[in-house]
Amino acid sequence: MLFLQIPLLAVLLTAGDNDDAFQEEFTFKLIHSSSFYNHSWVKSRNSLWLGDLQTHGWDTFGRVIFLRPWSHGNFSKEEINKLIEFHRLFSIEMPHELHRHASQWQLKYPFDIQIIAGCELHPGEGKVVFLQVAYQGTEFLHFQNNSWWPSVQDEIKAQLMCRRISQYHIANKIIQRILSDTCPRFLSSILDAGKFDLQREVKPEAWLSTGPNPGPDRQMLVCHVSGFHPKPIWVKWMRGEQVQQGTQQSGILPNADGTWYLQVFLDVEATETSGLYCRVRHSSLGGQDILLYLEHHHNSVGWIILAVMVPLVLLTALAFWLRKRW
């Protein structure tokens, strides 16, 4: 456990003292998926992502939706329209081509095609581009150096397909340029335009609850942490200085406002809950971790019992006294 915490802490500490420039690597990517039901029916979905954050979507009429105020970056209208047009043509041509060659390439309806394409910027000016295509959920070809390559060597489907689509010289040149030139330029420009939003620090709120009982005489403790930004966070169930071994974490899920939400669980013996607390460490808290003690529950229950008991005892005493006097 300790081995895991040290790198995490290092990440949090470096995230804490970021100056104007971003320290991390950033990825901008298109996610496309198409479900081919039969020879005449295909349903496609597209979205664009900056890391975990969706920046663009498409509506049912095929129009691009800019989801953030900075989703245009500093690109001109013309340049953006050219990209949208290329994507639109691709979205029409790609299914046509697959339908046309479905039997030759041994594609069996219904099938799914997924494409992920984009670029990665590293702090030292380095960049990486990628374009991968999956068939039925498994990667089977990729684009590199102006050309298409099978990702699985002995797959006839992939080889036949690569041979064919590598012949679209003009389209492939455009794809190469979009990946290695347009994508990194656009990525830096939205990082710049969205800096205020992307680097904002929002403090988490945290609360405790209990989940469904995991078994007889056991209790599931849940620590909820919500509304924080940026995403890196450290949340553990602890006793004293000891992180509890059974601590389990949900995925970090997005809230609608661009902040994040997380649940951290601990499955314990119902009699072993004393002294447990949930500890939340986040860059927005400036070293002041949030500590939520389970004891408060018991204490408040204790207070409620006391608050009910005392008047009850007094009333009984009063009743006895009154009866005596009658």
Q: Which residues are near ligand NAG by CB under 6 A?
A: 37-38, 40-41, 74, 144-145, 188-189, 192
SS3 60: coil
- Closest separation in Å from C-beta 192 to ligand NAG: 4
- Closest separation in Å from C-beta 274 to ligand NAG: 54
Nearer to ligand NAG, 22 or 90 (CB): 22
Instruction: Look at the block and give the residue holding tokens 């005449």.
Output: 40
Nearer to ligand NAG, 98 or 276 (CB): 98
Return the structure tokens found at 313. 């005892």
- Closest separation in Å from C-beta 67 to ligand NAG: 20
Rounded CA Rg of the chain: 28
What's the angle, vertex CA 300, arms to CA 208 and CA 276, rounded to 5?
A: 45
Nearer to ligand NAG, 79 or 155 (CB): 79
Burial class (CB in 10 A: 0-12, 13-18, 19+), 310: exposed
- Closest separation in Å from C-beta 188 to ligand NAG: 4
Nearer to ligand NAG, 60 or 145 (CB): 145
Do the beta carbons of residue 246 and residue 285 sit within 8 Å? no
Quote the CA–CA distance of 245 and 237 in Å, as a whole number: 9
Residue 264, number of CB atoms within 10 A of its CB: 22
Nearer to ligand NAG, 99 or 231 (CB): 99
Whole-angstrom CA distances from 82 to 78, 174, 191, 192 are 6, 11, 21, 22
- Closest separation in Å from C-beta 160 to ligand NAG: 21
Nearer to ligand NAG, 165 or 187 (CB): 187
- Closest separation in Å from C-beta 43 to ligand NAG: 9
